[in-house]
Structure 1
């Protein structure tokens, strides 16, 4: 063999060893995460498989839908328990996230996921819940209001995705993997070790300017993102997140349920001027409230988020 051929062989072997080591770290991390953050609620069967949810309190129903790469723990570090004093509070792991199933060929667009939320409402026999949607969960909630207005009594949205944008936040660039085999390879090797190494930088981009709460990793469920299946489904959700924004924009004028929005003025993920101010300027029947804060309001501004939800929950 020539020197060049030997160099290529050695390089390939080094790459395989490197990928194998990353795969080992990924598998070990996933096992540790499953032990640290096990399911904390109940399961029901819907068309995508088992769906994990928590159900607390009694009274008028509040149904909570989380955002991109998240799970129900985002609502379970103060919001759910406080609201459960006066309401029946249900928070779900969206299909494919947390401990909920989703087949790899299931559509991931906001409108498709809204239909799955409608299945949850029917399966649990919920009487016109107020739907609280955060971030991507806000877009899903909007599609639910447009396609299934008869199933809900209104929307209270937290930093929602509502309008088409030219460029997503830079922190999500690593999710832009359009081929399934690439998502599989990256998720099983590089994604989790890279996420761990860049955790401080990524959290600053998502939470900033607010600090990351100490309880976010376990009680807030943040660790559940350190699993290959979570990465793959987050990537799919990211790629599909803009597919129904045109449909949503065309439907805002005809909304049949009340919609209110809470935004942090310093949101670094979704611009409040675009997804809040520009929206209500065109559609004044949608109510906008702004506070000082970033994107992760359910975790970082619990008191103000509670005040907002309670105001529109009757």
Structure 2
């Protein structure tokens, strides 16, 4: 009789689980190392930028918030408010020195930009910014200055005129964003204004994007003109690439249109002399959509159309902008 036997085959040891764990650990360590490297490079870039482009002016304490102001010249007070992504150096390149021959000029860094601090985790509105800059001006003895703002800074200047009529003598919006527009918020500022996007993307930008990227992009902002020689070196591209500056700017940009919609009904109540300046070739803030409407809504406002000039008149047409300040000062009885 045939007999059978049962063979027991010992299973081979599985090695994929330990291998997978090793791979995951290696990936995790690599990610951690890259994160540490990125944060270190970003911090080094910011430190270098601030060493190369230190604060030019004085630091004020306004309700516990540091506000940076550059003050020059003597005469009637003129406050200058820079635009998006910028700092006071934009104004001190051309316009402020010209005005300082006849005025006391106060060029502010807007909150969260340059060397001024933030005070609203959700982003400072144009009304928030107007309020704190108005208080800063009073600290400097400028109770009723002429207020000039360019682009986004023009929106802040409009909010100043609407909400603080007793603390302004004349208004000069330059290429100012004053009315709603159709285009959605651009992708970068959409990402940079989000908490997760800001945490993940901005350190990479600060760490690995060179200052030359900002310098090369300036010509797009100045179009159809180009950035004047020496402007990039004066402006401080590295200051723009700091993580907190990009996040602050993105938060402010994200809410700007809604804030303008809320502010617009009050333009008709602006009662100070208003000289509006806008380039006819401005494709960033279109003249017809913005200043062309604004001049019709502010009583007795005057609009100067700068033929062929783009979005940066305060730099490429500084003499014409200074002339607008002169007209505003004369109308306000300051000259």
C-alpha distance after superposition, 1:125-157 (max 9, x if no partner): 213100010111111111111111010111111
Q: Distance in 1 between matches of 2:137 and 2:326?
A: 20
For the 8 Å contact 2:53–2:239, the answer to whether it is kept is: yes
Structure 1 window deviating more from structure 2 (185-194 vs 236-245): it is 185-194
Whole-angstrom CA distance in 1 between matches of 2:37 and 2:147: 43
Residue equivalent to 1:199: 214
Aligned to 1:265: 280
Give distance in 1, aligned partners of 2:211 and 2:34.
16
Q: Does 1:173 align with 2:187?
A: yes
TM-score (norm 2): 0.83
Residue 238 (structure 2) aligns with: 223
**What's the counterpart of residue 39 of structure 1?**
55
Distance 2:23 2:253 in 1: 39
Residues 217, 223 of structure 1: 8 Å contact kept:
no
In the alignment, what sits opposite 2:42?
26
- Quote how far apart the aligned CAs of 1:81 are: 1.6
Q: Which residue of 2 aligns with 1:235?
A: 250
Residues 8 and 308 from structure 1, CA distance in 2 versus in 1: closer, same or farther, beyond 3 angstroms? Answer: farther
Q: Secondary structure at the match of 1:272?
A: coil
Out of 206-215 and 124-133, give the one that drifted further. Answer: 206-215
Poorly superposed stretches of 4+, deviation over 6 Å: 2-14
Report the counterpart of residue 319 of structure 2 in structure 1: 303
Q: Find the structure with the greater CA-based Rg.
A: 2
- In the aligned structure 2, how far is the partner of 1:263 from the partner of 1:253? 20
For residues 259-279 of structure 1, the C-alpha deviation after alignment (integer angstroms, 9 at most, x for no partner) is 221111111211111011133
Counterparts of 1:80-229 in structure 2, within 5 Å, are: 80-103=96-119, 105=121, 107-167=123-183, 172-177=186-191, 178-191=193-206, 193-194=208-209, 196=211, 198-199=213-214, 202-229=217-244
TM-score, normalising length from structure 1? 0.88
In the alignment, structure 2 segments of 5+ residues that lack a partner are 1-15, 331-335
Tell me the residue number matched to 2:264: 249
Cα displacement (A) at 1:86: 1.1
Would the aligned equivalents of 1:110 and 1:240 in 2 still touch at CA under 8 Å?
A: no
Q: Secondary structure at the match of 1:295?
A: coil
CA RMSD of aligned residues (A): 2.6
Q: 1:179-235, CA deviations, whole angstroms, 9 ceiling, x for partnerless residues?
A: 324313322223563474743663232221111123223323443112112111111
Q: Relative contact order, CA 8 A, sep 6+: which one is greater?
A: 1
SS in 1 for 2:278: strand
